[in-house]
């Protein structure tokens, strides 16, 4: 008996008492798991400042380079990061806010449907926004929305700068992030730069994504603050 037959047999036995007329939504599924850890929840310990700090800490644990700035400092910071990298070209998705990059920054490469993987590989850097960021796990999620572009533009270039608006785009936990995301969209979950390990546990970075991930947390003032 093959492994496939074993698995299918177990599924049939588990479902043998389920009426054929029963639909998946007929029986409610209890979801009693914690939505967030107590240290980062939405209570007193889960202030926006605390969540942003936890996100920065966990991003750094995953070897992402974290920068924090205000709204007015975003454009100058991006200019400095690209200059420090020595980037001559920067890939931008169609919906990237134009004020993020100045005319004095590297040559902008606009993503097109006809752009090949070889052309993307020749780009020095890519700058995008994100859909949501998860403090508990240090994860950035892209969904192909405005300012993010297609999935492949963040998987092929070697240097990715991702801008996160805090606290607007920062949530505590994965369940909270899922509530904001559309599962029909092309979701990319990023926890640090691309990396893998061989059989001897030697870490190799840049295998299936950027070797360097820089995350810019743009901390917007609280209303009335």
- 98-115 pLDDT tens trace: 999 987 778 999 888 888
Q: Does 116 or 133 have the greater pLDDT score?
A: 133
- Give the single-character DSSP code of 21: T
- Distance CA(166)–CA(147), nearest Å, equals 16
Inter-residue contact 177 to 171 (CB < 8 Å): yes
CA distances to 76, 95, 152 from 100, in Å: 9, 11, 21
- 57-106 pLDDT tens trace: 999 999 999 999 999 999 999 999 999 999 999 999 999 999 999 877 78
Q: Does 222 or 218 have the greater pLDDT score?
A: 218
pTM over 0.85: no
Quote the tokens at residue 137.
């796990």
SS3 78: helix
- Give the single-character DSSP code of 4: H
- 15-61 pLDDT tens trace: 898 888 988 888 888 877 777 765 554 443 458 899 999 999 999 99
pLDDT above 50 for 161: yes
pLDDT band at 209 (very low <50, low <70, confident <90, very high): confident
| pLDDT for the residue 197 | 66
**Chain-wide mean pLDDT for the chain?**
88
| pLDDT for the residue 181 | 97
Kindly list the structural domains of the chain, giving each domain's residue range(s) and its CATH number in brackets, ordered by start: 45-219 (3.40.50.10420)
pLDDT band at 205 (very low <50, low <70, confident <90, very high): low
Lowest mean pLDDT among 13-27, 30-44, 164-178, 199-213: 30-44
| pLDDT for the residue 182 | 96
Lowest mean pLDDT among 77-81, 200-204, 213-217: 200-204
């Amino acid at each position: 008996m093959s492994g496939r037959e074993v698995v299918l047999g177990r599924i049939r036995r588990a479902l043998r008492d389920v009426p054929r007329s029963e639909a998946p939504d007929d029986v409610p599924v209890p979801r009693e798991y914690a939505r967030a850890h107590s240290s980062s929840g939405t209570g007193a310990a889960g202030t926006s400042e605390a969540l942003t700090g936890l996100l920065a800490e966990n991003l750094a644990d995953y070897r992402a380079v974290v920068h924090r700035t205000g709204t007015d400092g975003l454009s100058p910071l991006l200019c400095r990061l690209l200059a420090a990298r020595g980037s001559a070209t920067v890939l931008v998705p169609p919906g990237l806010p134009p004020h993020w990059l100045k005319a004095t920054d590297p040559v902008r490469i606009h993503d097109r449907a006809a752009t090949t993987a070889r052309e993307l590989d020749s780009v020095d850097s890519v700058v995008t926004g994100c859909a949501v960021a998860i403090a508990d796990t240090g994860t950035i999620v892209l969904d192909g929305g405005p300012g993010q572009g297609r999935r492949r533009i963040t998987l092929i270039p070697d240097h990715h700068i991702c801008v996160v608006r805090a606290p607007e785009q920062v949530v505590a936990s994965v369940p909270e992030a899922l509530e904001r995301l559309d599962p029909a969209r092309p979701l990319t979950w990023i926890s640090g730069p691309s990396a893998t390990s061989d059989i001897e546990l030697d870490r190799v970075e840049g295998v299936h994504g950027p070797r360097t991930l820089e995350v810019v947390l743009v901390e917007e003032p609280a209303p009335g603050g």
